[in-house]
Structure 1
Amino acid sequence: MKRAAAVLMLALLVGCQPQGEPSRGLAVVVDVIDGDTLTVDTAEGERVRVRMLGIDAPEEAKDGTPAECGASEAKEALAALVDDRQVGLTADSRSDVEDRYGRRLAYVDVDGLDVGAALIQAGWAAAWHPRSAVEPERGPSYQKAQKRAQAAGSGLWSTCPTVGR
C-alpha cells in the first residue's frame, strides 16, 4: 500500500512540473507550398511538411478548385522570408503536434522574426485556429496584428473583395 501511494505521489509530482520552453528545432526550407505551408529538411535529416500555427493564408488552386484571392501573393511573401533559409520550428503547448493531414504544426521564425506575425502584419495571412481547437499561445498577438493590417488595408485586406475568415 505504501509503495502504491509513493508511486501515485511521484506521478502527481511529475505531472505538476512546470512546462518548460516549447519544443524547438532547426530546419532548412526546401519548398514553399502556399502561404502557410512549407517543406523542410530537419537537423535530424527528416523531410517534413509544416503547417504554420496560428495563421491561415489563401489556398492555391487544387483539384479543380480555383486559387483564392491573394494566394500567389501570400505564397510569394512566405517564400521571400524563408525560401532556402534555416528556420526555427517551435511547437505550441496548446496545439497538436500534427494536423489531420500529417503536417507538423509549428511556429516558424527566421533570424528572430516570427514569420506568421510578419505575414499577418503584411496582410497576406489572417490569425486563425480551428474552431475545434484551443486558441494557440500566440493567438492574441496575432489577432492584434490582424486588426492593424485590416485598419491599414494591407495585403488581402485591400486587394480581395472578401476574405473568407
Structure 2
Amino acid sequence: MKKIIFLAPILLLIFSGCISDDNIDSGDFIDSHEHFSGTVTRVVDGDTVHVDSNGVDYNIRLLGVDTPETYQKNSVSEYYIDYETPITDTEYLDYWGHLATNYTRNTLENKSVYVVFDKNSDKQDKYGRYLAYIYLENENFNENLIEYGFARVYVSDFELKAGFLETEKTAKSEKTGLWNYNN
C-alpha cells in the first residue's frame, strides 16, 4: 500500500505531461538561468542585436544559430540541405541573410526581451559579444529563426542543442525558408 501511495503522485505528473524532455517551460528555463531584461535597440544582422538594460548596451550574438551573412561573403561550406548537398549559390544566401535581418528587426527592434545565458556555453565570444538566447513573450527567438528557415544551427556546446538540431531537421525536411533551395 505504501508503494502505491508513493508512486501515485509520480505517475500523475508523468501522465499529465508535467515531466517532459520535449517541452521545456520557458518561464522555468529563464528563471533557472542567469538572465536580464532589456529592450532591443539595434539589429546588426539576423543573429546579432544590441539590448539596452538600465542604460547599459549589450552586444548579443544569438547563441546556437547562424544566419547568412549580410556584410561579408557567405561561405558555401556552411549551409547544407543534407549531409552531401551544400547551398552553393552565394546570391541566394545573401538574399536570405537580408531576409533574416529584416525578420529579426521586425520582430525584436524596440521590444522588451529577456537575455538568457546558457550554463554550458561561454558567456562571451572572441569578439566580446555576449552569447545568449533572446526570449520574446516567453518564446525562444533563437529557435524561431531555425524553425522559420532563416538560420542553421551553429553547433557548439549549449544546453538546447538537441532541440535546435531537431527543429533544423524539420525545417529542412519541410523545405522551410532558405532550405527550399534547388541547385
Instruction: Sort the TM-score into its range (normalised by shorter chain).
Output: 0.7 to 0.9
1:160 offset after TM fit, Å?
A: 7.3
Residues in 2 aligned to 1:87 and 1:129: alpha-carbon distance in whole angstroms? 24
Question: RMSD over aligned Cα, in angstroms?
Answer: 1.8
2:126 alignment partner in structure 1:
100
Distance in 1, matches of 2:106 and 2:136, equals 11
| Counterpart selection for 1:41 from 44, 48, 52 | 52
Return the alpha-carbon distance in structure 2 between the equivalents of residues 71 and 160 of structure 1: 17
* Distance in 1 between residues matched to 2:43 and 2:68, nearest whole Å: 14
What is the aligned-residue identity percentage? 27
- What amino acid sits opposite 2:125 in the alignment? D
Distance (Å, rounded) in 2 between the aligned partners of 1:94 and 1:46:
25
> What TM-score results when the alignment is normalised by the length of structure 1?
0.76
Is 1:91 matched with 2:117? yes
- In 2, distance between residues paired with 1:114 and 1:123? 15
Letter in 2 for 1:104: Y
Post-superposition Cα deviations, 1:102-136, rounded to whole Å, max 9, x if no partner, equal: 00111001001110111100000111134xxxx21
Contiguous gaps of at least 5 residues in structure 2: 1-30, 75-90
Give the number of equivalent residue pairs: 135
Aligned partner (choices 150, 154, 162) of residue 176 of structure 2? 154
- Mapped partners of 1:98, 1:129: distance in 2: 16
Q: Which residue of 1 aligns with 2:61?
A: 51
Residue in 2 that maps onto 1:24: 35
Q: 2:141 aligns with which of 100, 115, 118?
A: 115
Matching residue of 1:15: none
Matched, 1:140 2:162: yes
Change in CA separation of 1:76 and 1:159 when aligned onto 2, cut-off 3 Å: farther
Task: Give the Cα–Cα distance (whole angstroms) in 1 for the partners of residues 145 and 67 of structure 2.
Answer: 9
Using the TM superposition, name which of 31-40 and 20-29 deviates more: 20-29
